[in-house]
């Protein structure tokens, strides 16, 4: 291929899609035509990418004519149906949904850890993991390379814009905040926030404003949620540790964007704290931000809109010399979805040129 490749952004109007358009505007311009696709609801609307107004097209088979690479930023069911169609039209697909993450013929890729895996794609599809896995795995993966990971205990504090909620989650949280803002007594009696917010809690199973919800995703096995199962399955697959013990609890918190993850990581070998700091200070895609006495630790409000995973509160576990406790924050729409997909896509541009 001599000309620049044609890119399709499928789901250009969603929470991840909107961030993707910003990133395409600011990243090095390696693409020729950029085609924006969404549901028929959005067809005909205009939005800007690379400083130019671009019309949204309805997702259709014809829309993939001449497309070299398609970024899929749509719900799982839509990706499951349409990714093979895009491939049949000659496109390589990079998918952010959960549709193909468990498929052994679809590589599951985090460029900082296993970027090479994207080059072998029997189905023509490359998948990225979910935003909670992405928030923690770049950090934990860098430590694993030196100390050998034995076990993870993870509590994820997931933002309203996270997977399964997206733009609808942001809209619901903002509406709820409006409903609770005026009454300074709310949050002091059982059920008062629930009554103020009302029955319509959007994509959440209860009120999120002034509250936390220990559930996201669909019911999984043995009382786990699908979100919790995804963290375990994706982390095991990307790190190549099929037997890794991982206990996860996913909690939705009233943050618009930016996942936080509290991690207890147990390793095969004792962990010198100074060496752990050195590794984290130089790991690609990670920023160490760790002087709590000076108020220096990552929070979602501080890291939203940035690319890396930010890690702080790094300490040797009080009762276990082989374990570290740490706190990671990352923007779920950037590294948690759009950035990871775009990094994969950009790494494949040379392959597309060779086609
Ligand atoms: N949000 C996150 O933090 C995050 C992180 C990692 C992965 N992901 C994954 O990324 C994907 C997108 O998530 P999101 O949060 O951006 O969701 P979202 O805000 O709900 O956006 C969904 C997008 O998909 C489009 N869409 C929905 N149904 C469609 C259909 N039948 N045909 C064509 N387009 C359709 C929507 O278009 P319309 O506007 O026209 O409806 C919109 O552009 C999901 O698979 C999610 O699991 C999300």
Q: Give the side-chain half-sphere CA count within 13 A for 204.
A: 33
The mean pLDDT of the chain is 96
pLDDT at 174 over 60: yes
Ligand 1 atom at minimum distance from 11 CA: 43
pLDDT at 355 over 70: no
Same domain, yes or no: 124 and 136: no
| pLDDT at res. 165 | 87
| pLDDT at res. 354 | 63
Cβ of 336 closer than 6 Å to ligand 1, yes or no, is yes
Residue 37 structural domain: 7-128+338-353
Same domain, yes or no: 201 and 303: yes
Cβ of 129 closer than 6 Å to ligand 1, yes or no, is no
d(CA 342, CA 24): 8
Angle (CA) 71-139-237 rounded to 5° is 60
Same domain, yes or no: 266 and 346: no
- Number of folded domains that form the chain: 2
Angle (CA) 102-108-109 rounded to 5° is 165
| pLDDT at res. 3 | 87
State pLDDT tens for residues 187-240.
999 999 999 999 999 999 999 999 999 999 999 999 999 999 999 999 999 999
State pLDDT tens for residues 51-82.
999 999 999 999 999 999 999 999 999 999 99
> Could you tell me the CATH number of the domain that includes residue 298?
3.30.360.10
Same domain, yes or no: 145 and 113: no
Query: How many other C-beta atoms are found inside a 10 Å radius of the C-beta of residue 264?
Result: 16
Cβ of 163 closer than 6 Å to ligand 1, yes or no, is yes
Same domain, yes or no: 294 and 158: yes
Entry pTM: 0.96
Domain presence at residue 1: no
State pLDDT tens for residues 303-354.
999 999 999 999 999 999 999 999 999 999 999 999 999 999 999 998 786 6
For residue 32, report the distance from its CA to the centre of ligand 1, in Å.
24
Residues constituting the chain: 355
Nearest CA to ligand 1 atom 33: 39
| pLDDT at res. 160 | 98
State pLDDT tens for residues 241-294.
999 999 999 999 999 999 999 999 999 999 999 999 999 999 999 999 999 999
Same domain, yes or no: 38 and 161: no
| pLDDT at res. 2 | 64
Under a CB-based contact definition with an 8 Å cutoff, are residues 238 and 110 in contact? yes
Substitution candidate for ligand 1 out of 11, 80, 332 with most atoms within 8 A of CB: 11
CA distances from 234 to 42, 127, 137, 238, 355 (A): 32, 11, 9, 6, 30
Among 133, 99, 139, 170, CA closest to 285: 139
Cβ of 131 closer than 6 Å to ligand 1, yes or no, is yes
Same domain, yes or no: 41 and 147: no
232, 237, 238, 244: CA torsion to nearest 10:
60
Domain presence at residue 119: yes
């Amino acid at each position: 291929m001599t000309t620049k490749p044609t890119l399709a952004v499928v789901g250009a109007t969603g929470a991840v899609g909107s961030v993707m358009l910003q990133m395409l505007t600011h990243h090095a311009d390696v693409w020729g035509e950029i085609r924006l696709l969404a549901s028929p609801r959005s067809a005909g609307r205009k939005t800007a990418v690379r400083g130019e107004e671009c019309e949204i097209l309805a997702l259709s088979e014809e829309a993939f004519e001449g497309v070299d690479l398609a970024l899929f930023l749509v719900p799982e069911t839509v990706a499951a149906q349409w990714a093979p169609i895009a491939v049949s039209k000659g496109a390589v697909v990079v998918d952010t949904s959960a549709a193909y993450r468990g498929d052994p013929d679809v590589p599951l890729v985090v460029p900082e850890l296993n970027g090479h895996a994207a080059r072998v794609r029997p189905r023509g599809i490359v998948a990225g993991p979910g935003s909670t896995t992405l928030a923690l795995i770049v950090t934990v993966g860098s430590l694993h390379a030196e100390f050998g990971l034995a076990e993870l205990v993870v509590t994820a504090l997931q933002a309203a814009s996270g997977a399964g909620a997206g733009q609808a989650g942001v809209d619901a949280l903002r509406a709820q905040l409006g409903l609770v803002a005026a009454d300074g007594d709310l949050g002091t009696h059982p059920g008062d926030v629930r009554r103020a917010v009302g029955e319509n809690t959007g994509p959440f199973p209860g009120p999120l404003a002034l509250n936390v919800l220990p559930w996201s995703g669909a019911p999984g096995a043995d009382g786990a949620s699908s979100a919790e199962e995804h963290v375990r399955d994706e982390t095991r697959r990307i790190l190549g540790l099929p037997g890794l013990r991982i206990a996860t609890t996913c909690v939705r918190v009233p943050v618009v964007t930016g996942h936080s993850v509290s991690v207890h990581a147990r390793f095969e070998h004792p962990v010198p704290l100074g060496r752990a700091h050195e590794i984290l200070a130089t790991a690609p895609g990670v920023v160490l931000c760790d002087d709590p006495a000076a108020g220096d630790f990552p929070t979602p409000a501080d890291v939203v809109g940035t690319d890396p995973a930010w890690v702080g509160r790094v300490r040797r576990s009080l009762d276990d010399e082989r374990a570290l406790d740490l706190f990671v924050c990352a923007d779920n729409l950037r590294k948690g979805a759009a950035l990871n997909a775009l990094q994969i896509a950009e790494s494949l541009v040379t392959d597309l040129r060779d086609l």
